[in-house]
Amino acid sequence: MKSVKELLSEHGLNPNKALGQNFLSDGAAIERIAALASEPGLPIIEIGPGLGAITLPLAETGLPLAAIELDHALCGVLEGLLPANASVVNADVLKADLEGIAERLGGEIAVCGNLPYYITSPTVMRLVSSKLPIRRMVLMMQKEAADRFFAEPGSKNYGPLTVLSRLRYEIRTALELSPASYFPQPEVSSSVLVFDRNGAETPEGLETLLKCAFRMRRKTLANNLSGMGLARTDAAELINRAGLAPSVRAEALSPEDFVRLCGLLPR
């Protein structure tokens, strides 16, 4: 396969800094990521395929594949490289019709992606909070972003994304990548995380609860719950019934605490 530099030169392209384009060029990492994403044997949605470094080995498995790419010029490159079992969707992953794409692929799916830092959190939040039939996700992201998924209650990185992801997925680090694994080289290291769906059901209203609970981190949970239309006295009673301290803040609650609290909310 041609190198990143060769492909860019051949098509008269340059990495787009505004889109956070750092193309993976580490052959061993590419092989490992493709193997992890194709291991379940499911149709795959790939986010940010770029020049197709991971897309091509995924497509070679014969599995149905939909690659979502925002950069129109890169879509043209990909379309000339991919076999019939793979398609390119020119779209912003935050606005794309993921449900429609998944439906066309059929059944459960795997998701693979190289996520630009500036959209990592909203992209993963969209995936973990969706109704998509995802069994596995293999996501490459800057290490700083990856650390959020392992944050403990009370830490600055702990928030709604941490809670929701941990309740619905088993998460592990598969690879650590240095800047030398990319072209052009970013200034920071990256991690590849594997998210395996654990089959747990979370209560209705949990996402709204998390959004309100963390709305203003330094305020107490009782104050923040007013954003759900609860009077202060009702919020205090709810917190007491959940076995939590009256002055507790959201950042101190475990994922399981949020599930218990959500189950007590008035319907």
**pLDDT given for residue 58 in this prediction:** 97
Task: Report which of 108, 137, 109, 133 is spatially closest to residue 124, judged by C-alpha positions.
Answer: 137
CATH of the domain at 247: 1.10.8.100
Place of tokens 């794409």: 101
Residue 10 and residue 100 share a domain: yes
- Find the CATH number of the domain harbouring 53: 3.40.50.150
At residue 54 the predicted structure's pLDDT band, cuts being 50, 70 and 90, is very high
Residue ranges making up the domain that contains 213: 206-263
Question: pLDDT class for 189, splitting at 50, 70, 90?
Answer: very high
Backbone angles phi, psi at 188, to 5 degrees: -130, 165
Token pair for residue 267? 């319907």
Report d(CA 57, CA 44) in Å as an integer: 12
Evaluate if residue 199 carries a pLDDT over 80: yes
Specify whether 173 is located in the same domain as 258: no
123 and 73 assigned to the same domain: yes
Say yes or no to pLDDT of 16 above 90. Answer: no
Residue 92 has φ and ψ, to the nearest 5°, of: -85, 125
| Number of helices followed by number of strands (H, E) in the chain | 12, 9
8 A C-beta contact, residue 203 and residue 210? no
Quick one: DSSP state of residue 61? T
Q: Identify whether residues 238 and 184 lie together within a single domain.
A: no
Query: Among residues 197, 232, 252, which one ends one of the domains?
Result: 197
In angstroms, the CA 231 to CA 238 distance is 11
Q: Are residues 68 and 143 in the same domain?
A: yes
Do 181 and 257 belong together in one domain?
Answer: no
Among 197, 219, 246, where does a domain finish?
197
Q: Are residues 214 and 236 in the same domain?
A: yes
Task: Specify whether 122 is located in the same domain as 242.
Answer: no
pLDDT at 17: 83
Last residue of a domain, one of 197, 224, 252: 197
21 pLDDT higher than 70: yes
- Give the count of domains, the chain: 2
Provide mean pLDDT across the span 245-258.
96
Q: Where does the chain have alpha helices with state H? A: 4-10, 27-38, 55-59, 72-79, 98-105, 120-129, 143-146, 160-168, 206-213, 221-224, 232-241, 255-263
Interval 66-121: pLDDT, tens: 999 999 999 999 998 899 999 999 999 999 999 999 999 999 999 999 998 889 99
**Confidence band of 248 (pLDDT split at 50, 70, 90):** very high
Specify the pLDDT at position 71. Answer: 95
When pLDDT is averaged across residues 41-52 and rounded to a whole number, the result is 96
Residue 3 has pLDDT above 90, yes or no: no
Q: Has residue 128 got a pLDDT over 70? A: yes
Token pair of 197, please?
């769906």
Instruction: List, for residues 136-181, the tens digit of each pLDDT value.
Output: 999 999 999 999 999 999 999 999 999 999 999 999 999 999 999 9
Q: Say how many C-beta atoms besides its own lie within 10 A of residue 184's C-beta.
A: 14
Joined tokens for residue 48? 């940010």
* Whether pLDDT at 1 is above 70: no
